[in-house]
Structure 1
Amino acid sequence: MQIKLFFKKQNAFFASILLSALLLSLTPSVHAASITVTALGHNSEARYINAPYLPYANPNAPKGGMLSQAAMGTFNSANPWMTTGVSMSGTDYLYDTLLAGSLSESFVMYPQLAEKITYDPDDTSWIIYHINPKAKFWDGSAVTSEDVQATYEAYLNKGLMQLRSYLAAIDKVEVIDKRRVKFHFKSSENKEILLTVGQFPIFKKASVEKDFEKLSLTPLMGSGPYQLHHVEQGRSVTYKRDPNYWGQQLMVNKGRFNFDYIKYIYYGSDEIALEGFKVGQYHFRQESSARKWTTAYDFAAARAGLIKKEAIVTKNPVMMQALVMNLRKNIFSDIRVRQAMTDAFDFELMNKTLFYDQYERLESYFHGSELAATGTPDDEEYQVLKPLLPKLEPIQRQAAVAKWQLAKSDGKGYHRQALLNARQKLLEAGFYYQDMKLYQANGKPARFEILITDEKISRVLLPYVRNLKKLGFEVSIRQVDTSQYLERLRRFDYDMIVAGFPQSTSPGSEQSYMWGSAAADEQGNQNYSGIKNEAIDTVIDKLIKAENREEIVLYTRVLDRLLRAGYYMVPMYGTTSTRVVYWDKYRHQKTLPDNAVGIDYWWVDKSAESIITKYLK
């Protein structure tokens, strides 16, 4: 999956790189131990290796116009890879990566900065990337292997902690010559790392060495399709398309990057952002609220036929959105307490009264995909689980092999039986009641805080908080600004948070920094729960070393069972579609990507734009 996912939870550029574990070489040009290929894929042939352009691209799309979107909070940096600062949205448009992914295949990669790759399928302890001689930075200088080396040395020595962890398999980066760079790895068992190193932005060496750690609104020198055009600090960021972009004729880029300008306007809250959309301050919006999707788009411009709504279905797993319990806090250390917290969540009531019955309860970390575990373990899953079961505590052991089912209500607010079950589990965990108050087994009050940064989530949390208070918990909701929130996340300074965990169809090493034991103690990583579980570590390792698609599916399903059975978080809700609303000047191909909205391949209809411009005057 595209690198944009890597940092989704950290800021607008954060998203999680979600990669596969098996590589298939294509179009070999040398018949020897090592082969040179023009694409790498996930256990399948690259469907578009000989295509002139990708199927969801319009090679004749007109260039021009602006894509404008909202962003939340503020920013003080143009570098999302450094350890300090909050990066501006959209910096991914400034840079190229060595390889670029297809949005309709499970991790198939095509040439971008690198025109080809050399490696040995039987010895994956190294890979050589061949830099395209046409690749140029904005200043006209050629992209060289020294730029790649300098970029990765900065990532490994100065980058974010989760980035360093993710790239820890790199032993060294060697410059062979001007256009060939060789990555050496610490192991020959991690096949995923071969492509991992092809997915990060490459910066100019001089810029990296001088400014990588500098907190600045001036971006590092890149080679991408856009350049920074205008910054209104804390309020907006505008990028301008480079008409001389060196890579515009690459297969992956034909019909892509059609907007002359891309702008992000910052708002203090989504409520304010919605009002800004209604009056045309920005023109493209992703709607995450079921209530707003249903009720908020009946305004003058919409009634005039100038607003379009689309629910775009993709094949990616639905993002796990959950109430994450911090196991570093004693109050959540007992699995029975975490079970009680899960039982108290009345999804059916929320879906009926808050969400207009638009959501599904998430019952998998890979919901809505073939990767989700269903029913009881099949024979293959059980064979993987069997040697791991003795390493699990009894409740997790039982839940891992049972059919998974969360507590359900009638949707009328009567969650009595689930709350009775929750109360019993609390008592079994040593919690007790005294003077009408609930206490932990250690005698401390059963009190905790839910940390949020988005005010709209507080409305969703209120029914849950009411149920927790019925059980005797003292629960408060604390809202802080984005910068405070990110800093507290980095330090794991919270009791409970609401977090999302996006997944791709090809999970791999990124699972280790979300659920791995080593990541639990590394500040800046995304193991927000603080999970330390030997069985989970073992399965993640198997997933990373998987030899084929079948093994990837198998180990992911086992991982899914173990994560659910640990009750590390309270699964919330989601939908298989991405809901977008826009002023009706944007167009896209009838065929959209399988795994994304693919906004980079949309364009502006100039005649429709003129109508909207006239309306907004």
Structure 2
Amino acid sequence: MAVVAIPLGAGADTHGIAMYGKPALPPDFVSLPYANPDAPKGGRIVFGESGGFDSLNPFIVNGIAPAGISAHTIETLLGRSYDEPFTLYGLLAESVVTDDARTFVEFTLRPEARFSDGSPVTVEDVIWSFETLGTKGQPRYAAAYGKVATVEKIGERGIRFTFNTEDRELPLILGLRPILKKAQWEGRDFTVSSLDPVIGSGPYVVAEFEAGRYITYRKNPDWWGADLAFNRGQHNLDEIRYDYFGDAGVVFEAFKAGEITSWRETNPVKWDQQYDFPAVTSGDVVKSIIPHSRPSGIEGFVFNTRRPIFQDWRVREALITAFNFELINRTLNGSIPPRIQSYFSNSPLGMTPGAPAEGRVAEFLEPFRAELLPGAMEGYTLPVGDGSEANRGAIRRATALLEEAGWSVQDGVLKNAAGEPFSFEIVLVNGATDTINAATIYVEGLKRLGIEARLTTIDSAQYKERTTNYDFDMTHYIRSLSLSPGNEQTLYWGSKGVTEPGTRNWMGMNSPAAEAMIATMVAARSQDDFIAAVQALDRILTSGRYVIPIWYSDVSRLAHRKELKFPDRLPLYGDWPGFQPEVWWYED
């Protein structure tokens, strides 16, 4: 892609950009509204992770990178406020300019921006980062870069990207691309996994690590961005450490022993019944509830529809019907968390379960009516069981669906017309206790249908390899979704993921209707059209029956040392990237 130097472009510079409307904060804002600008500096936080890592490059397909490395050591041109659906403010860039049609975006770098080694962040670094990530990085970077027609250097500190596709989200997506130091990679293959830290401009640097066991990030005393309004009240801790353990149960025991200083509890029953250990009763550990207003996202057991056994939607519906959610949720969670009803449930972006498509939603879906599965237009509701162990009604309905799809029980075994038994493997990572327990109950229930499901647990390295290459029949699947979905949805559900390794389309779906809704979302000029397009996408995904949904929580449960504090004013997204540890501080 040719780079051309041109004079500084015309147009009013701006301190931020919103997906819709204008940024909520004025140019002279003091800090993000959920950050405490007077927060004390210093102290440390220690997290626990299960599994391990073998690479310090989080931007490539190869290797497993440690938690936090991108968030703590790398910066982007713009930074996101998590108190608005999708609004960005200047970070490495002091300004961002685009036109009404968003056919281009122009960034102007701050003259004071520096990498951690003291060298300036230059236009050449930005251009190299975009090209390298877009052509050699993880697949999530390629789609947006493919929509860039030209890259132009403007003066000494300006970069303009002109687009070849109508996509109103592109200026924001490019604003969030990691900026790396070009000189670090001269004569080196970017795609090769390495334990050399990537040089960034962020508030922290990698201090010490032992591959697979721990990594420590230490505050850079010469960090260039400490005085920016966007950063005021953020990145307050001197040290952030991640310790790695064999499984989540061991991590929790380490937290109880005081080796870990913050723990995110996902099991509400455990939260209510197992937090009576001495550190809690003495007040040394505090239990905090963090509410949020974001979509439920999707979590559950995903079907790999690349496998012939799962290509018939009736088979998938039968297996969803046979999943005894009511029993599993009661056994594991005391029936406390609600079930995920659709991918964008718990938000205005979600469809109404059981209700037919109407208005703009129906208009968007109508051209694809012939390819849509039952329920997309008419309305779809997840099957509900009776909660008993036998779950007879659900088993009868599942049996009928399987018979329609050509499967029948012969000598106690479900077989097709060729006499082949219905069997599959559920692959899970070691230590995922709740998921393994849910799968175990499910496997037992499937025996009532004559189905043999095998549960296999593997280590995190094997799991990464197998999921990257879609080498599984069924596995645990989780995709967190925001209030402003956009281009990343192509990575999640786009047809390239059917064959291209490393995408997040683990189910292998290939839906022109879904891709059309994503294109409509990112090109939408009005909030109403955007919401209608997302609701239409939600219908396509949910009625596609690609995932057996489990539960979600509308709060996060964080247990932490009493010295770790956070602001009273919580962001719209709650406990989300940008919250812990970013706006937390340590205070004796």
TM over 0.5: yes
* Matched position secondary structure for 1:116: strand
**Structure 1 residues 144, 442: closer, same or farther in 2, change over 3 A?**
farther
Asked if 1:389 corresponds to 2:366, the answer is: no
* Matched position secondary structure for 2:75: coil
The 5-angstrom pairing of residues 207-356 of structure 1 reads 207-211=184-188, 212-356=190-334
Distance 2:418 2:311 in 1: 12
Offset from partner CA, 1:460-514 (integer Å, 9 cap, x none): 1122112211111110111111111111111111100111011000011111121
* Matched position secondary structure for 1:337: helix
Asked if 1:150 corresponds to 2:132, the answer is: no
Asked if 1:399 corresponds to 2:379, the answer is: no
**Structure 1 residues 166, 331: closer, same or farther in 2, change over 3 A?**
farther
Distance 2:298 2:462 in 1: 23
Letter in 2 for 1:61: A
**Structure 1 residues 437, 214: closer, same or farther in 2, change over 3 A?**
closer
Asked if 1:101 corresponds to 2:77, the answer is: no
The aligned counterpart of 1:440 is 416
Specify which of 538, 563, 578 is matched with residue 585 of structure 1.
Answer: 563
What is the Cα deviation at residue 214 of structure 1?
4.2
* Matched position secondary structure for 1:541: helix
* Matched position secondary structure for 1:197: helix
Asked if 1:46 corresponds to 2:23, the answer is: yes
Distance 2:85 2:203 in 1: 25
Answer yes or no: is the 8 Å Cα contact 1:173–1:181 preserved in 2: yes
Distance 2:187 2:289 in 1: 45
What is the Cα deviation at residue 35 of structure 1?
3.9
Answer yes or no: is the 8 Å Cα contact 1:287–1:580 preserved in 2: yes
Answer yes or no: is the 8 Å Cα contact 1:326–1:530 preserved in 2: yes
What is the Cα deviation at residue 157 of structure 1?
2.2
Distance 1:438 1:590 in 2: 56
The aligned counterpart of 1:191 is 168
Distance 2:218 2:192 in 1: 23
What is the Cα deviation at residue 284 of structure 1?
0.6
The aligned counterpart of 1:17 is none
The aligned counterpart of 2:516 is 538
Offset from partner CA, 1:336-394 (integer Å, 9 cap, x none): 101101101111112222101221111110121110100322222222222221233xx
Specify which of 375, 384, 389 is matched with residue 413 of structure 1.
Answer: 389
Specify which of 136, 156, 160 is matched with residue 182 of structure 1.
Answer: 160
**Structure 1 residues 110, 443: closer, same or farther in 2, change over 3 A?**
same
Asked if 1:427 corresponds to 2:403, the answer is: yes
* Matched position secondary structure for 2:361: helix
The 5-angstrom pairing of residues 76-155 of structure 1 reads 76-91=54-69, 92-122=71-101, 124-155=102-133
* Matched position secondary structure for 2:572: coil
Answer yes or no: is the 8 Å Cα contact 1:320–1:571 preserved in 2: yes
Distance 1:288 1:84 in 2: 29
Distance 2:416 2:248 in 1: 37
Structure-2-length-normalised TM-score: 0.94
**Structure 1 residues 176, 45: closer, same or farther in 2, change over 3 A?**
closer
Letter in 2 for 1:590: D
What is the Cα deviation at residue 441 of structure 1?
4.2
Offset from partner CA, 1:435-462 (integer Å, 9 cap, x none): 2211134432101000110431211112
What is the Cα deviation at residue 418 of structure 1?
1.0
Answer yes or no: is the 8 Å Cα contact 2:386–2:393 preserved in 1: no
The aligned counterpart of 1:489 is 467
What is the Cα deviation at residue 84 of structure 1?
1.0
Answer yes or no: is the 8 Å Cα contact 2:98–2:104 preserved in 1: yes
* Matched position secondary structure for 1:252: coil
Offset from partner CA, 1:251-280 (integer Å, 9 cap, x none): 110011010000000011001001100111
More off after superposition, 293-302 vs 354-363: 293-302
Letter in 1 for 2:531: V
Answer yes or no: is the 8 Å Cα contact 2:440–2:455 preserved in 1: no
The aligned counterpart of 2:3 is none
Aligned-pair identity (%): 34
Letter in 1 for 2:19: H
* Matched position secondary structure for 1:67: strand
* Matched position secondary structure for 2:60: coil
Letter in 1 for 2:404: E
What is the Cα deviation at residue 399 of structure 1?
0.7
Answer yes or no: is the 8 Å Cα contact 2:139–2:491 preserved in 1: no
Offset from partner CA, 1:130-155 (integer Å, 9 cap, x none): 00001011121111100101111210
What is the Cα deviation at residue 311 of structure 1?
2.1
Query: Tell me, which stretches of 5 or more residues in structure 2 are unaligned?
Result: 1-7
Answer yes or no: is the 8 Å Cα contact 1:331–1:440 preserved in 2: no
What is the Cα deviation at residue 83 of structure 1?
2.4
Distance 1:334 1:391 in 2: 13
The aligned counterpart of 1:451 is 427
What is the Cα deviation at residue 424 of structure 1?
0.4
Distance 1:444 1:297 in 2: 49
Letter in 2 for 1:579: R
Answer yes or no: is the 8 Å Cα contact 2:290–2:557 preserved in 1: yes
Letter in 1 for 2:365: L
**Structure 1 residues 326, 376: closer, same or farther in 2, change over 3 A?**
same
The aligned counterpart of 1:603 is 585
Distance 2:29 2:13 in 1: 20
* Matched position secondary structure for 2:13: strand
Distance 1:184 1:196 in 2: 13
Specify which of 487, 501, 504 is matched with residue 523 of structure 1.
Answer: 501
Asked if 1:467 corresponds to 2:445, the answer is: yes
The aligned counterpart of 2:35 is 57
The 5-angstrom pairing of residues 21-32 of structure 1 reads none
Runs of 4+ in 1 over 6 A off after TM superposition: none
The aligned counterpart of 1:12 is none
The aligned counterpart of 1:23 is none
* Matched position secondary structure for 1:550: helix
Answer yes or no: is the 8 Å Cα contact 1:340–1:422 preserved in 2: yes
* RMSD (CA atoms): 1.7
Distance 1:454 1:45 in 2: 46
Answer yes or no: is the 8 Å Cα contact 1:358–1:575 preserved in 2: no
Distance 1:294 1:442 in 2: 51
* Matched position secondary structure for 1:36: coil
Answer yes or no: is the 8 Å Cα contact 1:35–1:120 preserved in 2: no
More off after superposition, 435-444 vs 570-579: 435-444
Distance 2:270 2:34 in 1: 29
* Matched position secondary structure for 2:218: strand
**Structure 1 residues 440, 510: closer, same or farther in 2, change over 3 A?**
farther
Structure-1-length-normalised TM-score: 0.89
What is the Cα deviation at residue 168 of structure 1?
2.4
Distance 2:388 2:343 in 1: 27
More off after superposition, 409-418 vs 296-305: 409-418
